[in-house]
Structures are given as structure tokens and as C-alpha cells.
Amino acid sequence: MTEQLRLMAVHAHPDDESSKGAATMAKYVSEGVEVLVATCTGGERGSILNPKLQGDKYIEEHIHEVRAKEMDEAREILGVKQAWLGFVDSGLPEGDPLPPLPEGCFALQDVDEAAGALVKLIREFRPHVITTYDENGGYPHPDHIMTHKISMVAFEAAGDPDKYPGTGEPWQPQKLYYNQGFNRPRTVALHEALLARGLESPYGEWLERWKSIQKRERNLTTYVPCSDFFEIRDKALIAHRTQIDPDGGWFRVPMEIQKEVWPTEEYELARSLVDTTLPEDDLFAGIRNN
């Protein structure tokens, strides 16, 4: 393949791009791949999760602008491009029974209509590969599930000249993946490695919780070696300072253990229009040589 490769990562909120597949994106950027993050919402209903910033009235009153600036910083660190799809954060409903979602939010949009914004972006950027979330959203946040829904519609429709007229020339991506970085094999491997070294593991509660949940194992098809970019991933994640505590659980596993025990990020191949052999170590497997 002679033209420049292009990767689009579709995410629900600012910060998702830095916690899911960030090292993969940085790796591909270093290789000359053009990478675009499509952010569905502004994250304006997200809580301030960093305890050091909780109670800051300016942040509370300007959360949309603050999170946009955080996204700009993370984008620069990762070396990617980024585009907002312009939907409004749905928030994470809590309580029993769950309260209704707020009027006008992303998760309440008509799926086919909402997918039009993503189709337009796909036709403009012309990605060969798209990454998104699985049908559970990775975790059941309504915006993550909606991100999955519009990604699936847009992947199938972007190459069809009869679909979404007026949104640009048709373009058919070749592969679509689900992010599966928070998988059980990785978690178990890191947990056991920490205990074997006499260190405390942050994953004990995760593993106990998984035991009580009847959750099907995902089919991990693609392991992208990207440990040289773990530091860039962490730096981008810390840029989302309203969401991430730099002294929190995200960073409790020493970097040298991460690189030694689990030096990849994982994906599940959901759609492919090219021949490939599983397992893969490259999101562009089957594309580079066509």
C-alpha cells in the first residue's frame, strides 16, 4: 500500500482516548500513521474525579471549557488530531431505580441520525481502520454504549453512496476493532506479578468483582506491542487532571513491571473486509500489503 495509513479512534468523552489505546495511537503516530480521535461528547456532565480539584468552583462552573483544554493538551502529547462530534454528555445515572437520562443528551439521540455526524467525519478523514467500544461500551455508561451503536452504523454506511447524502464522497474503512485493554488476562498477569514481587496489587477487588459477574470472555484477537509508549500514554492521561489523580490507582503498577509482564494493548476484531490471520500484532494487518 503506497498511500499514508489512517486510523480513527472513536471515543465517548475527553480522557477516554488517553485511557484506552493511547500507547497504540502514539506508536502509530511515530511510524507516520495519521491518527484522528473522534470525541462524541464534551464530557460536560462528568464528575471531578481528582480529589485534589474537588470543590474548585471555577472548574465546576466551567467544566466544559476545562475539559476541552485538557483534551487539547492530551492531543498534543499523543501527536494525534482530534475532532468533536458535538453531542451533549449524558452523565452516568446512579440510584435505584435509575433516574431518566437528561433531555437532549447523546444517549437519547436517534442512532441513525447521530451516526450521520460520524459518517461525515469518516468521509472527510478516510480512515483505513476504526477503533471503538463493544456492545457493552467497555463498561455500561450510556454514552459508551451509544458510541458503539453509531460506530457500527457509520462503518457500514460510510462507503454506501446511497446513505447520508450531502456528507461527502463515500469511503469504506477496511477494519473495525473494539478496545479491550481492560481484559481479564492482563489484569491477572499484572496482579500475580505484583504479588510475586511482594508488592500490593490494586487489582484484587477487580478480580473478586469479576468472579461475581457472569461476564463472557471477550475474544482478544490483536495484541499491539507498544510498551515504548506507555510513558506517553500516562502523560496524556494525567493531562485530564479533572478526571485523573496522578497519585491514584491508574499508576500503582511500576512501569518496569508493566513493560515486562504485559507490553501490549489489546483489541477485538469486529469487522474486516480484508484477509488477515489471527492473532494479529498490527491493526493494519491485511491492509499494508494490499
Q: What's the pLDDT tens digit per position in 238-260?
A: 999 999 998 887 899 999 999 99
Residue 129 has pLDDT above 90, yes or no: yes
Return the higher-pLDDT residue of 10 and 139: 10
Residue 290 has pLDDT above 90, yes or no: no
| Residue 13, marked binder | yes
- Please give the Cα distance from 97 to 26 (Å, whole number): 41
Section 180-197 average pLDDT = 95
Residue 191 confidence (pLDDT): 96
Q: What is the pTM of this model?
A: 0.95
Taking Cα atoms as reference points, which of 180, 182, 189 lies closest to residue 262? 189
pLDDT confidence tier of residue 91, bands split at 50, 70 and 90 = very high
For residue 16 the three cell numbers come to 477516554
Residue 1 confidence (pLDDT): 55
Helix (H) or strand (E) holding 237: helix 230-239
What domains does the chain contain, in order, with CATH numbers?
6-183+219-272 (3.40.50.10320), 184-217 (no CATH)
* Three-class DSSP category at 186: helix
Range with the lowest mean pLDDT among 63-77, 138-152, 210-224?
Answer: 210-224
Look over the chain and give the mean of its residue pLDDT values, rounded to a whole number. 94
Residue 96 confidence (pLDDT): 80
> Model confidence over 3-35: pLDDT tens digits?
799 999 999 999 999 999 999 999 999 999 999
Helix (H) or strand (E) holding 131: strand 129-132
Q: Is 73 exposed, middle or buried (0-12, 13-18, 19+ CB in 10 A)?
A: middle
> Model confidence over 54-87: pLDDT tens digits?
998 999 999 999 999 999 999 999 999 999 999 9
Residue with cell 497504540: 24
Q: Where are the alpha helices (DSSP H) in 50-109?
A: 57-61, 63-78
> What letter would DSSP give residue 106?
G
